[in-house]
C-alpha cells in the first residue's frame, strides 16, 4: 500500500485502490465491505472493499481468509500479501478517514454522526468499484447500526445489486473477511507511520491499542494533552475519553465579544452555551478549551509556535 498521499496530508481522507483485475470487468463479481478502527480514540478509521468474480470465490476461500480480529498481525500481513499476488482476480479499495475528519463531522454545527459517516463511506466505495468498471452483482456488508435499516438504504441506492447486511459478516462471508484484512492492515500501517504535524517534543509512540479503555492509551493521552490547544490531530477530539481528560487538564477561559461565524479552530471550541448563561452579554461567547475540530480553520501545516502566534491575533480568544 502506498501511503504517501496520506503522509503528505492526514487531515482529511485518502482513497487507495489496487488495479482492477481484467476479469472483474467481464464477469459478475461479489464485493465485501468492512472497516477497522471504528472504536479507537487514536488514529484513523479505515473502510475497505474487496471483490472477485463469483466464479473465483472458491479460490478466495482457499486463501483461508478470516475475520481480521481473529488473526495476528503477521497472519494479516501474509494474507494481504497473498491477495496482492492474486491480483489477477482479487481487487480492493480503501477509504482512510482521519481523526480530524471524524471529529469535525461529529462536532460540527451540522452534526454528522459516526454511523452516517460509516454508511456514506461504504456507499462511496461500492460506487467507486462500479465507476472503475467492476461488474458487481452481490454485496455483503458487516453492519453498522441496525442491519435491516442499513440494508434497505443500500438496496435503494443500488437497486440492481443483491445486498446483504449482517452482524459479524466478517466471520460469515469470505469476501467480507478479505475486506476486513485489507482495512486492518491499512490502519495498522497508517498508525505506525503517522506524521505528526504538531512537531511535538519527546513524542512517545507507545500508544497501546488506541482504544479508550486501554491504560497505555490513557497514559499517552494525558502525557500529550496541551492545556490550551488540546491534543495532536492524531486524537479524535469527539471521543468522551478525550473530552474527560481535557475537562480535567485544560485551562478554562472566558472571552467576550461576538465571535465570527467560523470561530472554532483545531482543538478549541466554545462550548458553554450563550453569554447570558454565565453573566455575560447576549452574544458573548463563554467557554472552556474542549475536544473539537469543528469549523473551517486549522493549523495543520504550522508548528506550535506559529499556532500560539496566530491564536494571539484572534480578538475573541482572550483568557
- SS3 track for 127-146: HHHHHCCCCEEEEEEECCCC
Q: Which residues pair with 16 in a beta bridge?
A: 94
Cβ atoms 64, 32 nearer than 8 A = no
75 known member of a binding site: no
Q: How far is CA 229 from CA 28, 68, 215, 233, in A?
A: 51, 36, 23, 11
Cβ atoms 108, 261 nearer than 8 A = no
188 known member of a binding site: no
Q: What does the alpha-carbon distance between residue 251 and residue 243 come to, in Å, rounded to a whole number?
A: 13
77 known member of a binding site: no
Beta-carbon contacts of 252 under 8 Å, excluding residues fewer than 6 positions away, are: 288, 289
234-265 burial code (b ≥16 CB/10 A, e <16): bbbbbbebbbebbeeebeebbbeeebeeebbb
Beta-carbon contacts of 305 under 8 Å, excluding residues fewer than 6 positions away, are: none
Q: What does the alpha-carbon distance between residue 198 and residue 185 come to, in Å, rounded to a whole number?
A: 25
Sign of the Cα torsion 283, 284, 287, 291 reads positive
Q: Which residues are annotated as part of the binding site for a divalent metal cation?
A: 34-35, 142
Q: Which residues are annotated as part of the binding site?
A: 34-35, 142
Amino acid at each position: 500500500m502506498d501511503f504517501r498521499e496520506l503522509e503528505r496530508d492526514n487531515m482529511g481522507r485518502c482513497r487507495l485502490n489496487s488495479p482492477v483485475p481484467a476479469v472483474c470487468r467481464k464477469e459478475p463479481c461479489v464485493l465485501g465491505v468492512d472497516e477497522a478502527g471504528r472504536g479507537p480514540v487514536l488514529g484513523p478509521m479505515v473502510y475497505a472493499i474487496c471483490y472477485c468474480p463469483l466464479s473465483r470465490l472458491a479460490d478466495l476461500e482457499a486463501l483461508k481468509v478470516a475475520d481480521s480480529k481473529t488473526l495476528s498481525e503477521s497472519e494479516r500481513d501474509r494474507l494481504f500479501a497473498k491477495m496482492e499476488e492474486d491480483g489477477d482476480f482479487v481487487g480492493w479499495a480503501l477509504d482512510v478517514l482521519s481523526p480530524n475528519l471524524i471529529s469535525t463531522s461529529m462536532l460540527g454545527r451540522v452534526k454528522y454522526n459516526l454511523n452516517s459517516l460509516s454508511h456514506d463511506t461504504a456507499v462511496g466505495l461500492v460506487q467507486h468499484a462500479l465507476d472503475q468498471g467492476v461488474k458487481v452483482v452481490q454485496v455483503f456488508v458487516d453492519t453498522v447500526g441496525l442491519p435491516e435499516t442499513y440494508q434497505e438504504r443500500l438496496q435503494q441506492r443500488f437497486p440492481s445489486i443483491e445486498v446483504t447486511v449482517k452482524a459479524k459478516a466478517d466471520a460469515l462471508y469470505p469476501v467480507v473477511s478479505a475486506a476486513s484484512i485489507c482495512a486492518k492492515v491499512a490502519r495498522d500501517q497508517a498508525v505506525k507511520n503517522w506524521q505528526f504535524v504538531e512537531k511535538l517534543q519527546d513524542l512517545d509512540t507507545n500508544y497501546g491499542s488506541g482504544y479508550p479503555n486501554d491504560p497505555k492509551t490513557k497514559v499517552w493521552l494525558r502525557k500529550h494533552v496541551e492545556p490550551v490547544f488540546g491534543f495532536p490531530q492524531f486524537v479524535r477530539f469527539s471521543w468522551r475519553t478525550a473530552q474527560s481528560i481535557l475537562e480535567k487538564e485544560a485551562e478554562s477561559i472566558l472571552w467576550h465579544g461576538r465571535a465570527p461565524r467560523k470561530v472554532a479552530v483545531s482543538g478549541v471550541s466554545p462550548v458553554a452555551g450563550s453569554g447570558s448563561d454565565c453573566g455575560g452579554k447576549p452574544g458573548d461567547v463563554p467557554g472552556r478549551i474542549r475536544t473539537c475540530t469543528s469549523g473551517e480553520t486549522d493549523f495543520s501545516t504550522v508548528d506550535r509556535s506559529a499556532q500560539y502566534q496566530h491564536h494571539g491575533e484572534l480578538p475573541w480568544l482572550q483568557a
